[in-house]
């Protein structure tokens, strides 16, 4: 398998070439280049194209305009709507979904979400109850109901795995992705960016230590690591607050050390044989520990820096409702020192969301500073942010955030990072609004927060999907419900950690499986909303 | 012709069924075959849910990858776009024969909802017979209720071609979903002209303005870009944005003049500043603050009358004092022009006394000076001006401004801290002596 690149196709002794792509226009240009660069003197090869998850009329039109459409023998689609990232996590990996849904009103991603859900139901049974909050959630539910109606004739006889489906619009909780995540996995994503479960890290800390080499063998290519729950240690620490990771790693180091020391106690042939058989597992554990110790060191360099502390302080002030109505000194300093634009945008948007919009004077001030420092062309991005509700003027002079914060208990002063008792540990004090909504839906139900739900954007609703008799679920006492929670517009690793925390609570009552249009963080989110040249 | 690769069937099987990389799976049972069987069962159960009335058009493939039967699916989407598009097909690729069966479904009897359903399955469907406006609108309504992006796009392309602009716009104005889809479609294919016409018709004036302005990102030539920006002035932006757009144009206009002039000066080789610090990049399209920095660096002493003087920039773009002082400081500090730095903060009052003041905190001044490796004496002078005592002490300690630390500890009457600081100064230095003198002084009432 080769990555799609311009110009000539890589040399390979094959007869068939299949392009396996998302239906994006710019990719069609690259494909056309590949096809047109084919060496006519060589044996002709057959071209095929597979669009994921759907064919696109516009893409095929583009291929036609570029003169290569006729070169393809097969033009098909591969409906991979939801991709499993872990045992409890699925994503459509659709980068454009948020912008399309909330800025352009384009429902294509919602259509794919609905289709993905239909596939899930085909495999795991009809979901008896659907809850939702938000315009897009409503649309997806409508599509699901309509799709089910169209597939009449055969009943789904699979015993349902899910009790509930909860559809949530991202714009019901615009706050959470803007704050800096503080779980181990969240910080890796914030600092280095996790792509498709892989992370690229600076290689220096991962070079094997050789005696007397003088460092001349230092690798120059980034160290690429795969991160998922198959790695035992990672599964243990990924969702912890970063401040709790150190003690786990040092405990692990002692256990592994002790395990290796056991070789001294192995006397008989049988004992030696047993020790040797366990060696691969121990070596893997030791390698895993070494990697994560290095990663933790890299993260610590960032989290102990003065700037990280200052930024976090400002974020937490905003989230706890302090001084959200005036120009913030730290943000001003960041602009003056020309820190990364996205960093600045995340902070001003956070302030705006925590204030239900900024006073016109404050907003105009920030906008002017930003445009003068980073360039006037960013008017376009600022406009997108306003359209998304992230950075806007306050209307009606009312700040609703304190009500929401107090009713949903979003800011928790006493947080236990080591042994958390509440989901607010993932941001060291702030409980993700979206996860709170899920938590309250499970117990005691949304009727208890009617007022807040009315303040949050979009309708909230409940639908039932009838099950054939005999398939009704009867839960044993103590058995957990299973809820599939679908974030329409993106989800962060911190929110995933918070949901996993709820899942493993002793008497939580609900286990969660998480689905989304995209795994994201504040940076990738804002980046997708920036206007770039065509 | 030697087109066939020298491969046996068995080799092909092995090629398709083997892999360099073992895919990651979450199940403990690593039995690939049983997994395959599971998914096959699940997917086959899906077929009941797929609208499947034309079996023979579907290509069936067995799990080993071999096609069942030898039919290839006709490129129906291509025919669809052929039927709809008014651009002639250009093809540079080798012509491949198209199966004869392609046009066999060309029928005149499909209703709008049937048509739309066929479009969704990618079948050939001529839309030409939907002649009346009412028929076309019904077709659109069916497409929209299906939520299928491709189908809606196909119908919109047809309507765009067969309806006048005014009628199309008027009808879509009251059909939100289709309207949004059209806007998205026009953006994607880059039909800027029609998009702007649409915004104008809908009286979405701000969007019209922004959409037009966005085009400037694609114009590389600075003069052309400047001319384009001129056309953006006066468009219906919000009041605030209008001012910014005007500034954008004015800035680029200035930058072009400055750039031409400076490039000339640089190549002439007579101007010292350019010889000592050759320019690393052009000033074109740089943000305002960067331009100001450049001007403070290369044109600091110029009179207000020139386009490149800092004072002129400050006046033209109404740059606040704070921003101006910060930028000028950064530029002069970089050049190690400490006298200029001094002058920035010195004001004479009416009695003729000089005093130092700054529209930004002096702690910021100190940081910028330190970043530019200012000598300790200069740093010290400005650390002394920091108002907040704690910050002053912090910075003095951080930047090793010994005298300031000592004096501040003395003023705070903090003996312990002074004692602790003693170990940080060089042995036998004047600072150590000063500390000892203070510590042994009977005049000071130490608080600890």
Sort A516 into a burial class: Cβ within 10 Å, 0-12 / 13-18 / 19+: buried
Q: Does residue A188 sit in the same domain as residue A290?
A: yes
Residues A127 and A231 in one domain: no
Predicted pLDDT of residue A218: 63
Q: A204 and A160, same structural domain?
A: no
CB B120 within 8 A of CB B146: yes
Q: Which residues of chain A lie closer than 8 angstroms to B247, CB-CB?
A: 376
B2 Cβ under 8 Å from any chain A Cβ: yes
Q: Is residue A101 part of a domain?
A: yes
Residues forming a β-bridge with B349 = none
Closest-CA residue of B relative to A226 is B24
- Single out the residue in A302, A328, A349 at which a domain terminates: A302
* Residue whose entry in the numeric block shows the structure tokens 């109901």: A145
Q: Which residues of A42-81 are buried (b: 16+ CB within 10 A; e: fewer)?
A: eeebebebebbbbbbbbbbbbbbbbbbbbbbebbebeeeb
Residue A445 DSSP code: -
Q: Which residues have a Cβ under 8 Å from the Cβ of A371 and sit 6 or more positions away?
A: A378, A379, A382, B244, B287, B288
Higher pLDDT, A205 or A523: A523
User: Strands, DSSP E only, in A182-226?
Assistant: 194-195, 198-201, 223-226
Handedness of CA A457, A459, A460, A465 (dihedral sign): negative
Nearest CA in chain A to B51: A151
Question: What CATH number is associated with residue A374?
Answer: 1.25.40.850
Q: Mark yes or no for CB contact A531/B214 under 8 Å.
A: yes
* SS3 assignment for chain B: CCCCCCCCHHHHHHHHHCCCCCCCCCCCCCCHHHHHHHHHHHHHHHHHHCCCCCHHHCCEECCCCCEECCCCCCCHHHHHHHHHCCCCCCCCCCCCCCCHHHHCCCCCCCCHHHHHHHHHCCCCCCCCCCCCHHHHHHHHHHHHHHCCHHHHHHHHHHHHHHCCHHHHHHHHHCCHHHHHHHHHHHHHHCCHHHHHHHHHHCCCHHHHHHHHHHHHHHCCCHHHHHHHHHHHCCCCCCHHHHHHHHHHHHHHHHHHHHHHHHHHHHHHCCCHHHHHCCCCCCCCCCCHHHHHHHHHHHCCCCCCCCCCCHHHHHHHCCCCHHHHHHHHHHHHHHCCCHHHHHHHHEEECCCCCEEECCCCCHHHHHHHHHHCCCCHHHHHHHHCCCCCHHHHHHHHHHCCCHHHHHHHHHHHCCHHHHHHHHCCCCCCCHHHHHHHHHHCCCCCCCCC
Structural contact between residues A232 and A288, judged by C-beta atoms closer than 8 angstroms: yes
Number of inter-chain CB pairs under 8 A, A vs B: 166
For residue B51, list chain A residues with Cβ-Cβ distance below 8 A.
150
Confidence at residue B82, expressed as pLDDT on a 0 to 100 scale: 43
What local confidence, expressed as pLDDT, does residue B47 receive? 41
Does a structural domain hold residue A292? yes
In a domain, A145, yes or no: yes
What region, left, alpha or beta, does residue B237 occupy, with left being phi > 0 and alpha being psi -120 to 50 degrees?
A: beta
Helix (H, G, I), strand (E, B) or coil at A516: strand
pLDDT-derived band of residue A286, with 50, 70 and 90 as boundaries? very high
Helix (H) or strand (E) holding A59: helix A57-65
What are the structure tokens assigned to A19, written together?
Answer: 């392009």
For residue A532, give the chain B residue with the closest CA: B217
Alpha-carbon Rg for chain B, nearest whole angstrom, is 38
Nearest CA in chain B to A16: B5
Same domain, A297 and A315: no
- Which candidate from B177, B214, B244 shows the least CB-CB separation from A376? B244
Whole-model pTM: value is 0.85
Q: Which domain holds residue A158?
A: 83-176+432-525
Q: Are A167 and A198 contained in the same domain?
A: no
Compare B64 and A177 and report the one with higher pLDDT.
A177
Predicted pLDDT of residue B28:
47
Query: What's the CA gap between B333 and B340, in Å, rounded?
Result: 9
Taking chain B (448 residues) in consecutive chunks of 10 residues, what is each chunk's mean pLDDT?
A: 49 65 55 50 44 39 38 37 37 31 50 79 74 88 84 89 91 91 87 91 91 93 96 92 96 96 92 91 96 96 91 94 92 93 81 72 88 90 88 87 86 85 84 84 81
CB B325 within 8 A of CB B333: no
Give the pLDDT confidence of A387-404 residue by residue, as tens digits.
Answer: 999 999 998 878 999 999
Return the pLDDT at B410: 85
pLDDT for position A358: 96
Q: What is the pLDDT of residue B69?
A: 38
Q: Which residues of A touch B42 (CB under 8 A)?
A: 122-123
Q: What is the pLDDT of residue B38?
A: 53
Indicate whether A105 and A155 sit together in one domain.
yes
Instruction: Establish if A442 belongs to a structural domain.
Output: yes
Q: Which of B26, B184, B288 sits opposite A106 (nearest CB)?
A: B184
Q: Is B192 on the interface with A (CB under 8 A)?
A: no
Separation of alpha carbons B203 and A354, rounded Å: 33
Percent of chain A with pLDDT over 90: 70
Let me know whether A331 and A296 are in one domain: no
Interface test with B, best of A18, A39, A64 (most B CBs within 10 A): A64
Question: Which domain CATH number covers A37?
Answer: 3.40.50.2060
What CATH number is attached to the domain comprising A500?
Answer: 3.40.50.1910
In a domain, residue A512? The reply is: yes
Euclidean distance between CA atoms B300 and B292, whole angstroms: 10
B241 at interface of A, judged by CB pairs closer than 8 A: yes
**What secondary structure does DSSP assign to A70-98, as a single string?**
GGEEEEEE-----EEEETTEEE---TTHH
Residues A382 and A440 placed together within one structural domain of the fold: no
CATH value at residue A249: 3.90.830.10
**A9 in a structural domain:** no
Higher pLDDT, A2 or A19: A19
Nearest chain A alpha carbon to B80:
A57
Predicted confidence at residue B100, as pLDDT, reads 38
Torsion of CA B121, B122, B124, B125, to 10 degrees: 70
Q: What residues of chain B lie within 8 A of the CB of A143, using their CB?
A: 147
In whole angstroms, give the CA distance from residue B199 to residue A496: 41
R_g of chain A, CA atoms, integer Å: 26
Q: Which residues of B touch A67 (CB under 8 A)?
A: 90-93
Q: What is the pLDDT of residue B17?
A: 67
Query: Shortest Cα distance from A64 to chain B (angstroms)?
Result: 7
A426 inside domain: no
A199 and A285 assigned to the same domain: yes
CB atoms A64 and B364 under 8 Å: no
Give tens-digit pLDDT for A410-451: 999 999 999 999 999 999 999 999 999 999 999 999 999 999
Considering only CB atoms, B90 lies closest to which of A67, A75, A364, namely A67
Interface probe, candidates B1, B40, B93, B359, chain A, greatest A C-beta count within 10 A? B93
Please give the residue of chain B at the shortest CA–CA distance from A533.
Answer: B217
| Residue A436 domain flag | yes
Same-domain pairing of A385 and A451:
no
Structure tokens at A213: 């080499």
Which residue is associated with the tokens 């056991």? A262
Residues of B within 8 A of A126 (CB-CB) are none
Q: CB neighbours of A427 closer than 8 A, spacing ≥ 6?
A: A179, A180, A181, A182, A319, A494
Note whether A314 and A298 are same-domain residues.
no
Which of B48, B216, B287 is opposite residue A154, by nearest beta carbon?
B48
Q: Which residue has the higher pLDDT, A267 or A174?
A: A174
Mutate to test the interface with B, among A373, A379, A385, A391 (most CBs of B within 10 A): A379
Least confident of A65-69, A154-158, B17-21, B153-157: B17-21
Q: Quick: pLDDT tens for A207-257.
A: 766 555 555 556 678 899 999 999 999 999 999 999 999 999 999 999 999
Do A203 and A288 fall into the same domain?
Answer: yes
Average pLDDT of chain A is 91
Residue A312 reports pLDDT greater than 80: yes
**Count of structural domains, chain A:** 4
Percent above pLDDT 70 for chain A: 97
């Amino acid at each position: 398998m080769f990555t799609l690149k311009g110009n000539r196709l890589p040399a390979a002794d094959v007869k068939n070439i299949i392009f396996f792509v998302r239906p994006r226009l710019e990719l069609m240009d690259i494909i056309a280049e590949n096809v047109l660069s084919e060496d006519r003197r060589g044996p002709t090869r057959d071209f095929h194209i597979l669009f994921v998850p759907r064919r696109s009329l516009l893409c095929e039109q583009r291929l036609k305009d570029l003169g290569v459409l006729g070169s393809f023998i097969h033009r098909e689609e591969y409906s991979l709507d939801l991709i499993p990232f872990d045992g409890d996590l699925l994503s459509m990996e659709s980068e454009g979904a948020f912008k399309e849904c909330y800025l352009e009103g384009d429902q294509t991603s919602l259509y794919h979400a609905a289709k993905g859900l239909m596939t899930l139901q085909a495999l795991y049974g009809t979901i008896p109850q659907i809850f939702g909050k938000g315009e897009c959630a409503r649309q997806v539910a409508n599509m699901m109901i309509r799709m089910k109606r169209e597939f009449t004739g055969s009943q789904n006889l699979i015993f349902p795995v899910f009790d509930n489906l909860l559809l949530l619009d991202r714009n019901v909780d615009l706050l959470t992705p803007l704050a800096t995540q503080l779980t181990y996995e969240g910080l890796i994503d914030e600092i280095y960016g996790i792509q498709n479960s892989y992370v690229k890290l600076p290689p220096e800390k991962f070079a094997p230590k050789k005696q007397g080499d003088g460092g001349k063998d230092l690798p120059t290519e980034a160290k690429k690591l795969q991160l998922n729950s198959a790695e035992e240690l990672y599964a243990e620490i990924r969702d912890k607050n970063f401040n709790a990771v150190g003690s786990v790693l040092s405990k692990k180091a002692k256990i592994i050390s002790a395990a290796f020391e056991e070789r001294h106690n192995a006397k008989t042939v049988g004992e030696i044989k047993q020790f040797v058989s366990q060696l691969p597992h121990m070596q893997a554990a030791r390698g895993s520990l070494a990697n994560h110790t290095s990663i933790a060191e890299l993260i610590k360099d960032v989290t102990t820096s003065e700037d990280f502390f200052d930024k976090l302080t400002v974020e937490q002030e905003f989230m706890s409702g302090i001084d959200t109505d005036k120009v913030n000194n730290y943000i001003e300093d960041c602009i003056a020192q020309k820190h990364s634009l996205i960093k600045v945008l995340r902070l001003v948007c956070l302030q705006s969301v925590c204030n239900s919009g900024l006073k016109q004077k404050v907003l105009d001030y920030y906008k002017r500073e930003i445009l003068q420092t980073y360039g006037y062309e960013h008017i376009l991005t600022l406009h997108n942010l306003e359209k998304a509700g992230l950075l806007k003027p306050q209307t009606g002079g009312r700040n609703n955030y304190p009500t929401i914060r107090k009713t949903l208990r979003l800011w928790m002063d006493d947080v236990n990072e080591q042994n958390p008792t509440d989901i607010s540990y993932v941001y060291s004090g702030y409980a993700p609004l979206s996860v709170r909504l899920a938590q309250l839906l499970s117990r005691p139900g949304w009727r208890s927060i009617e007022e807040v739900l009315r303040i949050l954007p979009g309708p909230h609703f409940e639908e039932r999907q009838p099950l054939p008799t005999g398939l009704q679920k009867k839960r044993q006492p103590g058995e957990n419900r299973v809820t599939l929670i679908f974030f329409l517009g993106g989800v962060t690793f911190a929110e995933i950690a918070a949901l996993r925390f709820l899942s493993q609570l002793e008497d939580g009552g609900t286990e969660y499986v998480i689905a989304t249009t995209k795994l994201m963080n504040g940076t990738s989110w804002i980046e997708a909303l920036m206007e770039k040249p065509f | 012709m030697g087109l066939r690769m020298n491969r046996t069937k068995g080799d092909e099987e092995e090629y398709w069924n083997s892999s360099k990389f073992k895919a990651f799976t979450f199940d403990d049972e690593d039995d690939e075959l049983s997994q395959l069987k599971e998914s096959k069962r699940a997917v086959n159960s899906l077929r009941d849910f797929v609208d499947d009335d034309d079996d023979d058009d579907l290509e069936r493939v067995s799990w080993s990858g071999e096609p069942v039967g030898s039919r290839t699916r006709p490129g129906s989407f291509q025919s669809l776009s052929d039927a709809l598009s008014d651009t002639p097909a250009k093809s540079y690729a080798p012509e491949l024969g198209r199966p004869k069966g392609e046009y066999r479904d060309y029928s005149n009897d499909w209703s709008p909802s049937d048509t739309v359903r066929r479009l969704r399955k990618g079948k050939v469907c001529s839309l030409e017979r939907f002649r009346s406006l009412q028929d076309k609108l019904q077709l659109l309504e069916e497409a929209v209720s299906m939520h299928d992006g491709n189908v809606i796009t196909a119908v919109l392309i047809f309507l765009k071609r067969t309806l006048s602009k005014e009628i199309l716009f008027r009808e879509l104005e009251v059909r939100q979903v289709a309207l949004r889809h059209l806007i998205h479609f026009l953006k994607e294919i880059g039909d800027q002209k029609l998009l702007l016409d649409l915004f104008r018709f809908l009286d979405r004036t701000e969007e019209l303005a922004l959409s037009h302005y966005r085009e400037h990102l694609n114009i590389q030539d600075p003069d052309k870009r400047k001319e384009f920006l001129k056309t953006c002035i006066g468009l219906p932006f919000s009041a605030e944005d209008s001012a910014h757009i005007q500034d954008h144009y004015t800035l680029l206009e200035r930058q072009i003049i400055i750039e031409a002039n400076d490039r000339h000066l640089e190549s002439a080789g007579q101007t010292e500043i350019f010889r000592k610090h050759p320019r690393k990049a052009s000033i074109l399209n740089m943000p305002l603050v960067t331009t100001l920095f450049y001007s403070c660096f290369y044109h600091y002493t110029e009179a207000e009358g020139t386009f490149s003087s800092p004072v002129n920039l400050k006046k033209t773009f109404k740059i606040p004092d704070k921003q101006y002082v910060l930028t000028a400081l950064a530029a002069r500090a970089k050049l190690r022009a400490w006298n200029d730095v001094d002058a920035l903060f010195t004001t004479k009052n009416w009695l003729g006394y000089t005093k130092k003041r700054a529209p930004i905190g002096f702690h910021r001044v100190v940081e910028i000076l330190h970043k530019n490796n200012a000598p300790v004496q200069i740093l010290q002078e400005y650390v002394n001006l920091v108002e907040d005592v704690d910050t002053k002490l912090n910075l003095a300690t951080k930047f090793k401004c010994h005298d300031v630390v000592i004096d501040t500890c003395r003023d705070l009457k903090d003996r312990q801290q002074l004692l602790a600081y003693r170990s940080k100064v060089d042995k036998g230095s004047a600072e150590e002596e000063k500390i000892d003198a203070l510590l042994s002084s009977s005049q000071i009432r130490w608080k600890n």
